[in-house]
Amino acid sequence: MKYLVSNYGLGIAVGLLEQEGATEEINLAHNLYDNNANYSLFHGCINFSSFKQFKRFLILKEYFKICEENKQNKFNEYQFLRRAINRAKQLIKTNVLFHNFMSQIRSSTLKYNIGTYQDEIDYES
């Protein structure tokens, strides 16, 4: 999965750039941290409270994958966690892009959409 990270208020917004697995990522973020998601941007956009929370999300996602891959192996949790942290670091280096897309969306929304649908105002009088 490729991610696009943007500042958004006090937290960050993370755009999901690939459709495959986007629903699972949104569900995992909601189940772990009760995060909100926006489905109108990219293949989903998840709001995190900080970049640190996003990194924890990636580590846990990788940890669950490693546990699923190694059901029969008798490694301890510390080895799984070390592998998950290393995979998450590599994922951040290769698949995470930083671009402040939320400020561009916010400014275009304010410019063009406010006051568009005001049906209660009678323009003839």
Q: What pLDDT is attached to residue 108? A: 53
**E strand or H helix that includes residue 43:** none
Where do the structural domains in the chain lie, given as residue ranges?
Answer: 3-112
Instruction: Report the chain (125 residues): mean pLDDT per 10 consecutive residues.
Output: 89 91 92 88 90 95 90 78 95 92 65 42 44
Q: What pLDDT is attached to residue 85? A: 95
Helical axes 77-95 vs 51-69, angle rounded to 10° = 120
Quote the radius of gyration of the chain (alpha carbons, Å): 19
Instruction: List residues bridging with 47 in a β-sheet.
Output: 13
